[in-house]
Amino acid sequence: MTAPLLDVRRIYAEPAAAELPRGKDVLARFPDAEVVEVLSHQAVPYTAADVDRWVRIKTEDLVLGVKKSLTARPNGRSSDFVAPSTANGCAMACAYCYVPRRKGYANPITVFTNIDKITGYLARHVGRQGVKQVPDQVDPTAWVYDIGENSDCSVDARISDNVRDLVDLFRDLPTAKASFATKHVNRDLLTWDPQGRTRIRFSLMPYADSKLLDIRTSPVAERLAAIDDFVTAGYEVHVNLSPVVVRDGWLEDWAQLLSDLDDATGPWFKAQAAAEVIFLTHNDRLHEVNLGWHPKAEEVLWRPELQQPKRSQTGGWNVRYRTGFKGQQVSALTELIAQRTPWLRVRYAF
């Protein structure tokens, strides 16, 4: 029997967050959960001993907080701007995810309940941009805001109405779009009527990689089967081919995935489709955490003979495929995309 994605038993809550209407809504959804008051959403008492409870914590714990810093950060790759987070953390457990690097020994979902402040800030920020005058690889006419940099919005939507509020907001902003990547198929989103103003990027990787690394996510075949339905429902749908993990037989497996993407989708998707291609970046601190709960993943993620280190902004070491070697692999995959799915425009690859 498959374990539930969420079985919330404990909610760590800032008092101010719990008192806001969205906080009350979340607490009402999980009436049997124990509520533990904390001074800050960043001060939940997880320690190194919690690593072996990594997945259990994601399943059973939530955190409620107030987002204090509201900033739309320029991006330029996935989006023009990264919107202030309405959540961080995830109930899924992808072994390569960068968010746990910032949260230490546990990574449950934190819901920010001051959603009215966040949507008000975004509406004003969009207004200040005016009309997009110069087309770019992000979008030819709209300012695109990534609303899910630190979480998976499809999962967040099972906990609160924050994501729906954002989709509703951007539906009424003619110069902007929301955007988020997801590995979770939440068909409740099909009823939201985004009217083309929200871009969903379904993350895809070969089946063998996903089985090993995409823990607790929707199967890749389920994501492929959902794409046309989301296009029909009024979403703009792109794909994230990421992270690309170099291993024996990797290119052959990507060829199969691309063929399956071609077979699974119809002309409406293909007419508006685009892809982001992102090769793996890993981290020494996440490597140590993974050794505590999923060491098998590190056999393909941690490859010192193929990778080079770079000091991260948080003081740790990020590792990515070596210069020169990586360029060869990027070229091999983009050439394969051109052969197998010539209709799939690559927005960027690195």
> Sorting pLDDT into bands at 50, 70 and 90, what band is 2?
low
Q: For residue 156, what pLDDT band results from cuts at 50, 70 and 90?
A: very high
What are the phi and psi torsion angles at 308 (to 5°)? -125, 145
Res 260 pLDDT > 90? yes
The total number of structural domains in the chain stands at: 1
In a domain? residue 121: yes
Asked if residue 44 is part of any domain, the answer here is yes
- Helix, strand, or coil here: 204? strand
Instruction: Tell me the C-alpha to C-alpha distance, in Å, between residue 17 and each of 59, 151, 164.
Output: 21, 19, 19
Domain that holds residue 335: 10-349
Q: What is the CATH number of the domain that holds 105?
A: 3.80.30.30
- The answer as to whether 116 is a domain residue is yes
Residue 102 has pLDDT above 80, yes or no: no
Question: Per the domain annotation, does 3 fall within a domain?
Answer: no
Asked if residues 67 and 114 have their Cβ atoms less than 8 Å apart, the reply is yes
- Report the candidate in 144, 229, 132 with the shortest Cα–Cα distance to residue 179: 144
Helix, strand, coil percent content, the chain, rounded in steps of 5: 40, 20, 40
- Which residues, including other chains, have CB under 8 Å from residue 346's CB and lie 6 or more apart? 274, 275, 276, 277, 334, 337
> Mean pLDDT over residues 81-107, rounded?
87
- Classify residue 2: in a domain, yes or no: no
User: What mean pLDDT is predicted for residues 22-31?
Assistant: 98
**196 in any annotated domain:** yes
Predicted model pTM: 0.96
Confidence of residue 205 (pLDDT cuts 50, 70, 90): very high
